[in-house]
Every structure is written in C-alpha cells, then in structure tokens.
Structure 1
Amino acid sequence: MKTTFKAFALGAALVAGLSASASATECIAPANPGGGWDFTCRQVGQIMHEIGVVPNPVQVTNMAGAGGGVAYGHVVGERGSDADVIIAASSATTTRLAQNAFSGMTADQVRWLGTLGGDPGVIVVAKDSPYKSLAELVDAVKANPSKVAFAGGSAVGGFDHLKVLMLMDRAGFTEARAIKYIGVDGGADAITQTVGGFTAAMTGDISEISGFIKSGDVRAVAVLADERVAAFPDIPTAKEQGIDMVAVNWRGFYVPKDISDADFAKWSDGLKKVAESAQWQKVMTDNGLAPYTLIGDDFEKWVGENIAEIQTISREIGIIK
C-alpha cells in the first residue's frame, strides 16, 4: 500500500494543554469520522477533559488516507516535536508498519504512548462442527493443513490472517504457508463461509460476531485475550488451553518522536488516569471492549516485539521480503 504523503493544513485548535501554560491539545484520528480511530480520539479526549487531565476539550482532527499512513507521515514530517498532539492507533497501525505499508517509514519514528482497551480476537466453528475444542482444531491443522481452512474479514496478511498464523506458530506448527486462509470482506461474510461449511473455522474480533455466538450459529472455541470476556464467560481463552496467545485489536495512541521525556511522562500519566476512570470502564462495557492496558515504556517494548513477530510471519508467507 504505497502512496504519496501530502501535507495537510490543520484548522485552528482549541486552547488546551497538559501544563499550566496555554497550549493546543489535539488528537488526530487517521480516518474519517465514525471509525475506530475517531471513536478512540473522541471518547478518550472527552474523558481527559472530564477528569482534569486537560483543562479544555481536546480538538479531534480527522486525517484519512493510506490506512493511517497519511497521518503517520504528517506527524513524522511536520510535527516531530509537538508535545500537544496525540494520534489514535490500533493493531492495524503496527501491522502496516511491520509490512512496510507506510512507504518506508518505521515504528521508531514516533513514540508509542499506550493502549487502554481492545477488541479480543476469537476463533469460532460452526455449531455442528466436529471440533469441540481449540486443541482438536489445532491438531487437525497439524495433521492435514490443506483440509482445515480458516475464514477471516481481512485480506491475506491482514490482522485476522495473522491471528491464525501466530496461534499455530505458538502451538508448535511453523509451516505458515501451509495454513489455508480465505480472506473475505468483513466478519459477517467470514461467518457465512464457516456456517455454510466452506471453512472449518473463522477468526475475527468478538464484537463483530457476538450476535452469531449468542444466536448459536457458531461455537467459539477460544477467545484470544488475557482473561475471559465478561459478556461471554463460557468461552475459554487460548492461554487456558495451553497456547500462550493474545490477539487484541487494541485501541491506543502514539506521540511525536522528539517530545521531551517529561512531556511523554505527562501523557503517560494522563492515559493511566483515563484507563482507571469510571467513565472509561463504562465506555468499554457499552462498546464491547475488554481491558487491555499497557502504557509508556511497557507499551513501547510490546510494540517492538509485536512488530518483529508480524515481520517474521509476513516474510514466511511472502507479504514482505
């Protein structure tokens, strides 16, 4: 996904800041209004104001293009030392960086602030599937990978595909190219593939297929989270079943590379306060998100490890060289 990154003239910002001095606080959502990045900016920005992290409402700037690449290029090229801007990010951001989809830009050109919630991945089979557990499904793949296909709502090499590859890798099956994956247009179409018997299993985010789980059309064999999801307490985690695998479509932020350590610490502290707030707990409950909090140095370390893993698997399947 290569594109030419253009400079954007941004509108006047509202007066806000992390310090006592007047400064502009802005959140860039790298997509049009209504999507996940826009949701993250607006919800977190509102809570930051409500709990006093910033004195005035945060301005949200929508900057769509290249799957987040236009915003990334803008921040790297023009806002490298701006301590008053945060940028919404998710698993899609790090996946695209790992696969060099941002025209040669790299993850170390920004600082990774943190994640404070996410949409857990899930593996489901049809209600009448012979596979009753994750172990049975994994064993079937190991025995004959060409006969056990997975459907997902992302293209080959996308996050849904990578969930399957990372799961199988951690289960001891390293022949990534042998795993059969069918990428379709969204979770609903992927569910149709599995319910109709065209694939053995489906992988997606739990929020997008929760209705199918509740209706009984599919049976979830694993949720790819640290712990069971409150809304679906009967679905065991992969970790419970012996595979140390967490795949959450996290919601978080990065900030410009050259801000000071003191400013980074202020943003980290503010994000921790949001994550611990009653307001954010309600947002997660209302929107089907699960707790997933990594902030500051812990998150930066995790991002580096995550990108390295995605690059390894992407090379194995030929997405990158």
Structure 2
Amino acid sequence: MKFTRFGAAVIVAAGFAASASAQVQIDDPECVAPANPGGGFDLTCRVAQTGLDPHIDAPVQVTFMPGGIGAVAYNLFNSTRTDDASSIVAFSTGSLLNIVTGKYGAFTEKDVRWVGTAGADFGAVVVRADSDYSELSQLMDDFSADPSSVVVGAGGSVGSQDWMKGALLLREAGAKPMDMRYVAFDGGGDAIAALLGGSIEVYMGDVGEMVPHIESGQMRLLAVMSPERLEAPFAEIPTAMEQGFDVEWTILRGFYMGGDVSDEDYQKWVDAFEAAYATEEFAAVQKERGLLPLNLAGDALQTSIEERVESLRAIAKEAGLIN
C-alpha cells in the first residue's frame, strides 16, 4: 500500500430499510466531542445534532471532553460508561490511527461499538489570509530547503493524523518527516486560534471545519488533500495532486458507543442513522459542513473500521511509528 494513498475511495452505502418518518426513542441523547469546541470533533457532533433531529424523539445535546486527542473519552467509554445507551462519541480516521499507535492505551478497535458515520472529510493545508504563502509550491520549496524554517501546527501530537498530513508533504518535498517543526494542540480549535494569533504559520486541518473561516476571510487554503476537486464552497481550491504533489488524505468521521451497550440500545442509534441517510435533508447537512456522503452504520461500519485499521497499521509501520 502506498503511504500517500490511504483512503482514496469514498464508499456510499445505500438501501436502508428504516423508515424516515418514525422517531427512535432515546433518553437524553448526547454526542460527546472529545476535544475543545471549534474543531473536527465538534463539527462531527453538529452533523449528528442536526441530521438526526427528525429521527430521534429528543434533541441531541453536544458536550465536550478534551484530553489526549480523544484518549480521555475513549478510556472513559471503555471503563465507567461502557453501557451508556444515551451517548455516542465522535471519532475520525485520526482516532483510528491513535488506536493503532497505542495512544489510547491498551484498548483496541474491538472494545467499542461503531455506530454510524457523519460523512467523509479531507485534509487541508491552511495559512492565514495575509500569509506570504499564496501557493502550495512555495511552502513545498521551503520544506525542501529547510523543513525547520516553517512552524506547522495541528490538533494532534506527533504521529497523529494531522501530523501525518504534514509528514506526507515533507516526504513529497524530499525531506524527513521527523524534521518538521511541529506544534501540537489539543484539538483543531486551539490550533486555528494559534494560526490566527501568529504562533504557527501553517495549519494541517480538515476541509469541513474551514467553512466558517473561509467565509470570514481570515484564512486561505493552499490545497485540499482530496483525490479530486470538491464542490462549493471549495470548488476554487486546487488539490495537492493537481499542483503536482502526490499527497492525499481522506478522513472518515463518525461515532462509537461503549462496548457493553445492549444490542437493542445500539440498534436504536443505528436505525436513526440509517433513516437519516435516506433523506435529502441529511445530505444537505453533510454538504453544509463540508462533508461528502460516506454513509455506513451498524455491521457495515464495523466491517469498514476493521479494514481501515489494518490499512492504517500498514501506513504507521511505513512511517516508522510502530514496529
């Protein structure tokens, strides 16, 4: 498997039997975003909050549980909240990478129940609107000449998916990923604040979380890490590949529950997601949040997670993150 080619395909599952008109009964439904407000996990929970609203008999409340880029939440739902029937927790491809590299402790992908997806997101190379970098090639030239001359930051530690995006760029520029001058933040919101404040020069973010910032004119996207150009509001932003750099990063966004949740309670959430996927309204929510439809729930998602984790293990070994 090529190190620069993970997750190129976006799979859309169809044929859901759940009725879009029936509302699932869930007591005090909650979506836990395992970071501070403003980043990708927040975005993921907002998709559930809005997209599931017609399909659950009570509004989904969003709460925040920062710590370890998802580690605190993953450990909690593998210890004291293993049977919590009311709560789903946001995850991304980065969460799966953290599991693979042992950053979530001894717990594996088999210790929780994977419920449903919010959609697909893509990596983005982001700078301030007044940055000297107007094209990706300029940044790549600096990476090639002296990687340490550029301060890069993101919502994840060394070895995280955000770090991996920068590592891919350095590798493509002919530099060593470990030479990247990288600042880790506890979530995308903190990293964006640092970019706007001038503490870092380049933010390795996600497309979806950029929507409000593009509209405000505060930031510029040098490239999206998608296989092809995206639709509006990103239609004018070139991919890294079309600019001559063979770098791509596709992000799965979704939700898990504790491993001891009963089949009945787990199925309620699965039914709600499958009902939502069958509607144009949910597709509109995904588009509004900068996501593409990658609609998987229940057993289909469980199978996909197992396949993705194996792919990530191969990538992590090639990057030297694990043996």
TM-score using structure 1 length: 0.65
Which of these two proteins has the greater Rg computed from alpha carbons?
A: 1
Measured against aligned partners, the alpha-carbon deviations of 1:127-166 in whole angstroms (never above 9, x if no partner) come to 787866545643553x424365242243642543222113
SS in 2 for 1:293: coil
Among 299, 304, 308, the residue aligned to 2:304: 299
Paired position in structure 1 for 2:221: 220
Shift of 1:215: 7.5
Is residue 2:67 matched to residue 1:66?
Answer: yes
Is residue 2:178 matched to residue 1:162?
Answer: no
Paired position in structure 2 for 1:116: 118
Paired position in structure 2 for 1:87: 89
Determine the C-alpha separation between the residues in 2 that align with 1:20 and 1:233: 36
Shift of 1:223: 0.8
Determine the C-alpha separation between the residues in 2 that align with 1:179 and 1:273: 44
Distance 1:127 1:60, change over 3 A: closer
Cα root mean square deviation, aligned: 4.6
Is residue 2:205 matched to residue 1:204?
Answer: yes
Paired position in structure 2 for 1:181: 182
Paired position in structure 2 for 1:48: 52
Is residue 2:238 matched to residue 1:255?
Answer: no
Determine the C-alpha separation between the residues in 2 that align with 1:191 and 1:103: 33
Residue identity opposite 2:32 in structure 1:
A
CA contact (8 A) 2:33 2:45 kept: no
Distance 1:42 1:193, change over 3 A: closer
Determine the C-alpha separation between the residues in 2 that align with 1:85 and 1:126: 36
Residue identity opposite 1:154 in structure 2:
G
Paired position in structure 2 for 1:29: 32
CA contact (8 A) 2:226 2:239 kept: yes
Distance 1:224 1:48, change over 3 A: same
Shift of 1:222: 1.0
Is residue 2:147 matched to residue 1:146?
Answer: yes
CA contact (8 A) 2:99 2:109 kept: yes
Shift of 1:205: 3.4
Paired position in structure 2 for 1:245: 248
Distance 1:187 1:270, change over 3 A: same
Paired position in structure 2 for 1:75: 77
The 5 A counterparts of 1:303-318 are 303-305=308-310, 307-308=312-313, 311-312=316-317, 315-316=320-321
Determine the C-alpha separation between the residues in 2 that align with 1:275 and 1:133: 37
Distance 1:104 1:284, change over 3 A: same
Shift of 1:301: 3.8
Measured against aligned partners, the alpha-carbon deviations of 1:214-249 in whole angstroms (never above 9, x if no partner) come to 68776533112344241131111224345251244x
Distance 1:244 1:202, change over 3 A: closer
How many positions carry a matched residue from both structures?
A: 289
Shift of 1:314: 7.3
Residue identity opposite 1:243 in structure 2:
D
CA contact (8 A) 1:42 1:60 kept: no
CA contact (8 A) 1:81 1:256 kept: yes
TM-score using structure 2 length: 0.64
CA contact (8 A) 1:44 1:274 kept: no
SS in 2 for 1:187: helix
Determine the C-alpha separation between the residues in 2 that align with 1:24 and 1:212: 35
Paired position in structure 2 for 1:57: 58
Deviates further, 151-160 or 262-271: 262-271
CA contact (8 A) 2:152 2:180 kept: no
Residue identity opposite 2:221 in structure 1:
A
Shift of 1:76: 2.5
Determine the C-alpha separation between the residues in 1 that align with 2:193 and 2:130: 18
CA contact (8 A) 1:112 1:299 kept: no
SS in 1 for 2:304: helix
Residue identity opposite 1:240 in structure 2:
E
Determine the C-alpha separation between the residues in 2 that align with 1:133 and 1:22: 50
Distance 1:45 1:149, change over 3 A: closer
Q: Give unpaired runs (5+ residues) of structure 1.
A: 1-18
CA contact (8 A) 2:207 2:290 kept: no
Measured against aligned partners, the alpha-carbon deviations of 1:139-194 in whole angstroms (never above 9, x if no partner) come to 553x424365242243642543222113444x384722123334575224325549
